Amino acid sequence: MRDFRFGFNFFDIASPGDFVERCRRGERYGYDVAQVPDHLGSPAPFPTMVAAADATERLRVGTLVLNAAFWNAHLLAREIATADRLTGGRVEVGLGAGHMKWEFDAAGIAWEPFAARVERMTALIEELGRLFGGPDYAERRPVAEHFGLADLAPVQRSGFGGSGPPLLVGGTGDTVLRAAAEHADIVGIAGMYQVEGAPPGTFRMGTAEQAAERVAFARAHAGERAGAIEWNVLVQHVEVTPDRRAAAERIRDARLPYMSVEEVLDTPFALIGTHEQIAEQLRERRERFGFSHVTVHGPFLDEFGPVIELLR
C-alpha cells in the first residue's frame, strides 16, 4: 500500500504576496504538490508552477490537468522541459482530453467527439515521449551546439517511457481510462461525471459505486502495470464539522439532490467530519479504492491542511 501524497490546486492569483503565502502555507501543512488546472480564465499553468516552486523549498508542482487539444507536442515539450529544469526536477505532468465545449469555441479549436479528443491526447503523450527520449533538440539547435550549450531536456526520467517527468492522466470515460492504464504513472479519477445526454459541461458528483467501477475498469486495462500505478482522487468538497450527517443532509438538499444522504457520506469525492474522521475516511478509501494521492481544491487548503499531519 502506498504512502499518502497530498495536493491542492489554484483557481486564481489575487496578488503576488497572497500567492506566495498560499504556497508556503501549503508546504507548512505538508502538502506534496501544488497543481494547476488548464482552463480559460484561470492562471496559465507553467508560469504558475514555476512561481510556486520558487516560493517553496520542496513543494512539487504539476498540472491537473492540461487540455491536450490546447497544445502542440513540440511547444508543450519546451514548456515541460523548461519548467522541470527551472524547478530542479519538481514537475508532474497531468493530461486530459478536455471537456468544456465553450473553451474550445472561445479558443477557436474544433470540438470533436470524446473518442477523437482522447486519440489526440494519446498521440500527444506518445510524441512527447519520443521528443524527450530522442536527439531532435540536439540535432536542430545548431547555435546551442556551436556554443556548447546543454540540450533542453527534462531533469526527470521516470515518466513518458523513462524520458520525462511523471505523467498523470485524468478522467472518467472508458477511452481516457484505457489511455491512462497504458501510459500513466498516476491515474486520476475525477470527481465530476458528465451527465449522459446532457450538454457538454453538465456534471454530477460521482458516487462510491461509480468510483469503484472506474478504478476496477482502469486496473483491468492496466494489467501487470496496475500495481505500479499511483491512484489520484480529486476531492470536490471538504467540510470540517462535528455532525457529519447534518452536513451531508444540507449538502444533499442544496447541491446533490440525485444522491441519498448515505451516498453523500460514502462518496470518495467529498470529505465530511472532524479532522480525525476525515483522516479515517481517507485510510478506508485508500484500502477500498487504492486512492493514496489526494487532491483538494484550493479553497479547501486550510480546512483540509490539519488532516495531513494525522496521516503522516
pLDDT recorded at residue 151: 73
Q: Which three cell numbers stand for residue 161?
A: 517511457
User: Per-residue pLDDT for 287 more than 90?
Assistant: yes
Alpha-carbon span 238 to 242, nearest angstrom: 13
Query: How many residues would you count in the chain?
Result: 312
Contact yes or no for 151/171 (Cβ under 8 A): no
Residue-wise pLDDT tens digits, 139-193:
566 666 767 766 788 999 999 999 999 999 999 999 999 999 999 999 999 889 8
Using alpha carbons only, what angle is made at residue 196 by residues 172 and 201, rounded to the nearest 5 degrees? Answer: 70
Over range 124-141, report the average pLDDT.
81
Alpha-carbon span 129 to 272, nearest angstrom: 40
pLDDT recorded at residue 136: 61
pLDDT recorded at residue 140: 61
pLDDT recorded at residue 171: 93
Of the listed ranges 9-23, 186-200, 225-239, the one predicted with least confidence: 186-200
CA 42 to centroid of chain Cα atoms? 15
Q: Which three cell numbers stand for residue 145?
A: 551546439
pLDDT recorded at residue 5: 98
Over range 185-202, report the average pLDDT.
90
Which backbone phi and psi does 158 adopt, to 5 degrees?
-110, -30
Contact yes or no for 96/176 (Cβ under 8 A): yes
Residue-wise pLDDT tens digits, 26-63:
999 999 999 999 999 999 999 999 999 999 999 999 99
